[in-house]
């Protein structure tokens, strides 16, 4: 038996497990040398605990110097990797490296506590990157594990690991009400208390203000959620679910990109038919684009609306945001100025010769306006064009090769080719990118729009009619528009050939919808708990005037009531006889102190008894009996025995051991 304060191997294993699991989610975010170094340092510390290798200390000066050099290398690596910017990523990297080095010098109880508290802080840093349900559940488990390590370290060796883990889980569970109260009542701020420089756009996918052949096809294979939409009342038809994003005007023959030609000013929108009000929960994508149902008629204070009806935020969308819009799916955009007309007719010189020749033939045949558009759509519908997610590569002139050679493509191929044909025919046209369709989630009554729903279509300008949406993809694959890309992909899947595949697919979709509904509610009520939602909640409680001071007072009052209730419960649960038993045990400890065997502050009754028994074998039976009986009364809630303990303490009269001559 070791004196408490010494770090036992079992304590070390629990501590290392907690640190490793707290660090695990960061592995892919850190420079590769840091996780490797942590694994080496962890292995070194564990081997040292089993006395397989020496640990660095002043007796092993070379090893001690090696660790000092490692600390210097760590600081240099972090400085160079993050170019001296101490933000979120650099701070997490530095903390991860320091925790590994601290493990090597962990020798005393103080070191153990420092490591555990660093592990708690490492848990918190994971929320800088993800606040999903899965992350919260995982880190809650890691918190229980680290708490178990602390309890294990402060418990008698004979107490089982399972008992320590149960106590840790109970303590964490008992803290949940306090956490909920603080979350609900702590004053919410519209901006963070501090900035976190170093955040980047890694891992973000979505539309941009450029479209190159193959870009949307790549998004078409992604299951990531782009945004979710909850309608206030009736929903539009599936074929009307066009979510407008960047409008592309300029092209070099292969790449299309947005232009400032229609960014300034506003253009009138004449809405026809019903208007739809809805709330959008947009995932971060690193750009300024805000998605809205085509076309937005009212955006409130959300972003800016261009003359091309693009909705953009004031800053890049690097975190999940929520906004409310109103849209009409039947509308008219009749305004076009000279600059827009010029941009909507421009084609790169000497590009697309065969497309220009086809447009010239149509003009020679007397086709104009809407009839030209109908001729282009008829070509897509009647000729052997195919809609595919894996089109062949286009090496030279992508538009001509697609229109006259491969005839296989994704929505971007059809939209770009259609716009080229219209411009070559003298009709102003532009490419519109965004999303089309969405998956209805019946669990929570909202639409999920995924990256694979990314779509491109065209708009042409006709006199007396204005800008008109034309979706060339619908002429080739109408099911892509009416049913969505999910049905198109399922139709191509070999799994459909199996007799029971429909049931398996349905079960998979139901499970996925349940999980997404849980994430949606989490985003609504936890991640989206804004100052306005807090004020609404408090207003429902009957408090009309909400201020930061009132919130602080309410929080303090709730916490005081909670602590009072907790104290009352602890008093009710106090073991019977604990008062007399504690007084008797204190008298027992004083008698031992008189003979030079003082109890240390960190020692439990059983530990102290074993130390006394080791020092004075003649006192061992009486000391162990008193300690066992006191432990049963004080900690195991034994119903009787206080009188027996007092009698044993009265009879306990230890004599000082004579000095050896």
CA distance 610 to 214: 75
**Closest to 449 in 3D by CA, of 458, 459, 436, 430:** 436
Catalytic residue ranges: 411, 455, 471
C-alpha distances in Å from residue 609, one per residue of 6, 7, 268, 581, 625 = 17, 20, 88, 16, 9
Residue with tokens 């038919």: 273
Same-domain status, 487 and 589 = no
Residue 80: phi and psi, rounded to 5, are: -70, -40
CA distance 656 to 238: 93
Same-domain status, 322 and 412 = yes
Same-domain status, 35 and 96 = yes
pLDDT at 483: 52
Domain end point (choices 436, 462, 492):
492
End-to-end CA distance of the chain: 31
Centre a 10 Å sphere on the Cβ of residue 570 and count the other Cβ atoms it contains.
Answer: 9
Same-domain status, 447 and 409 = yes
Domain range for 309: 210-492
Same-domain status, 586 and 641 = yes
Domain end point (choices 492, 520, 551):
492
Q: Is residue 461 part of a domain?
A: yes
Q: Is residue 390 part of a domain?
A: yes
pLDDT at 340: 94
Q: Is residue 24 part of a domain?
A: yes
Same-domain status, 65 and 137 = yes
CA distance 78 to 302: 39
pTM of the model: 0.68
Same-domain status, 357 and 283 = yes
Beta strands in 365-422 (DSSP E): 386-387, 408-409
Domain end point (choices 520, 543, 572):
572
Same-domain status, 234 and 307 = yes
CA distance 528 to 610: 56
Q: Is residue 497 part of a domain?
A: no
**Which DSSP string corresponds to 63-89?**
HHHHHHHHHHHHHHHHHHHTTT--SHH
What average pLDDT values come out for the chain (661 residues) when binned by 10 residues?
Answer: 62 92 92 88 87 75 73 80 80 88 85 92 91 91 95 84 92 86 73 45 64 62 87 91 95 91 84 93 90 92 90 89 94 92 94 95 93 95 89 87 92 94 96 93 90 92 93 81 51 44 74 84 79 76 70 76 76 58 88 90 88 91 91 70 86 78 46
User: Cβ contacts of residue 579 below 8 Å, gap of 6+?
Assistant: none
Q: Is residue 434 part of a domain?
A: yes
Same-domain status, 298 and 379 = yes
Same-domain status, 120 and 250 = no
Q: Is residue 16 part of a domain?
A: yes
Same-domain status, 598 and 456 = no
Q: Is residue 441 part of a domain?
A: yes
Q: Is residue 661 part of a domain?
A: no
Same-domain status, 565 and 582 = no
CA distance 235 to 45: 61
pLDDT at 3: 40
pLDDT at 570: 65
Residue with tokens 């493990």: 103
Domain count, the chain: 4
pLDDT at 204: 54
Q: Would you say 254 and 395 are in contact if contact means Cβ atoms under 8 Å apart?
A: no
Strand order in the sheet with 255-257: 210-212, 255-257, 250-251
Q: Omega before 579 cis (within 30°)? A: no
Q: Would you say 277 and 242 are in contact if contact means Cβ atoms under 8 Å apart?
A: no
**Closest to 572 in 3D by CA, of 478, 517, 637, 510:** 637
């Amino acid at each position: 038996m070791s004196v408490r304060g010494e770090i036992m191997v079992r304590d070390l294993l629990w501590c290392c497990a907690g640190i490793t699991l707290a660090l695990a989610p960061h592995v892919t975010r850190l420079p590769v040398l840091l996780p490797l170094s942590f694994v080496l340092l962890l292995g070194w510390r564990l081997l040292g605990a089993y006395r397989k290798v020496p640990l660095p200390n002043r007796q092993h000066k070379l090893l001690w110097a090696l660790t000092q050099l490692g600390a210097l290398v760590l600081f240099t690596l972090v400085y160079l990797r993050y170019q001296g910017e101490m933000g979120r990523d650099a701070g997490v990297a530095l903390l991860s490296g320091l925790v590994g080095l601290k493990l090597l010098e962990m020798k005393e109880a103080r070191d153990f506590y420092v490591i555990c508290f660093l592990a708690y802080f490492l848990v918190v840093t994971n929320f800088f990157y993800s606040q999903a349900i899965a992350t919260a559940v995982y880190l809650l488990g890691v918190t229980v594990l680290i708490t178990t390590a602390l309890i294990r370290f402060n418990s008698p060796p004979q107490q089982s690991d399972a008992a320590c883990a149960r106590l840790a889980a109970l303590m964490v569970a008992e803290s949940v009400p306090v956490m909920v109260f603080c979350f609900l009542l702590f004053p919410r701020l519209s901006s963070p208390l501090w900035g976190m420089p170093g955040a980047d756009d890694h891992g973000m996918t979505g539309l941009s203000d450029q479209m190159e052949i193959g870009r949307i096809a790549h998004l078409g294979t992604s299951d990531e959620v782009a945004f979710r939409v909850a309608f206030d009342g009736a929903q539009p038809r599936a074929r009307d679910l066009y979510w407008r994003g960047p409008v592309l005007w300029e092209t070099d023959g292969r790449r299309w990109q947005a232009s400032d030609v229609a960014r300034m000013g506003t253009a009138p929108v004449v809405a026809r038919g019903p208007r739809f009000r809805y709330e959008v929960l947009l995932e971060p994508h690193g750009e300024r684009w805000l998605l809205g149902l085509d076309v937005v008629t009212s955006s409130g204070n959300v972003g800016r609306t261009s003359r091309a009806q693009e909705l953009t935020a004031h800053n890049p969308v690097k975190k999940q945001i929520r906004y409310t819009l109103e849209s009409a799916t039947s509308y008219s955009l009749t305004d076009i100025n000279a600059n827009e007309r010029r941009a909507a007719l421009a084609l790169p010189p000497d590009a697309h010769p065969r497309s220009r020749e086809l447009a010239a033939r149509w003009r020679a045949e007397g086709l104009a306006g809407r009839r030209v558009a109908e001729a282009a759509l008829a070509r897509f519908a009647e000729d052997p064009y195919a809609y595919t997610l894996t089109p062949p590569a286009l090496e030279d002139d992508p538009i001509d090769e697609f229109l006259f050679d491969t005839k296989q493509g994704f929505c971007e191929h059809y939209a770009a080719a259609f716009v080229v044909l219209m411009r070559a025919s003298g009709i102003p046209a532009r490419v519109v990118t965004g999303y089309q369709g969405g998956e209805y989630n019946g669990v929570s009554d909202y639409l999920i729009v995924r990256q694979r729903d990314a779509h491109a279509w065209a708009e042409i300008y006709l006199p007396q009619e204005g800008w008109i949406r034309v979706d060339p993809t619908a002429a080739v694959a109408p099911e892509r528009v009416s049913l969505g890309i999910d049905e198109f992909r399922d139709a191509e899947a070999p799994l459909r050939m199996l007799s029971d595949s429909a049931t398996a697919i349905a079960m998979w979709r139901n499970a996925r919808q349940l999980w997404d509904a849980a994430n949606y509610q989490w985003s609504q009520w936890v991640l989206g708990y804004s100052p306005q939602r807090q004020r609404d909640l408090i207003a429902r409680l009957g408090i009309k005037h909400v201020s930061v001071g009132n919130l602080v007072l309410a929080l303090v009052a709730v916490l005081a009531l909670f602590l009072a209730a907790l104290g009352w419960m602890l008093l009710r649960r106090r073991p019977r006889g604990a008062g007399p038993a504690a007084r008797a045990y204190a008298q027992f400890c004083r008698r031992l102190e008189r003979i030079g065997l003082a109890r240390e502050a960190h020692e439990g009754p059983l530990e102290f008894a074993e130390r006394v028994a080791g020092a004075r074998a003649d006192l061992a039976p009486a000391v162990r009996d008193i300690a066992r009986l006191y432990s049963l009364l004080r900690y195991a809630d034994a119903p009787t025995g206080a009188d027996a303990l007092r009698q044993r303490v009265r009879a306990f009269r230890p004599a000082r051991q004579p000095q050896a001559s």
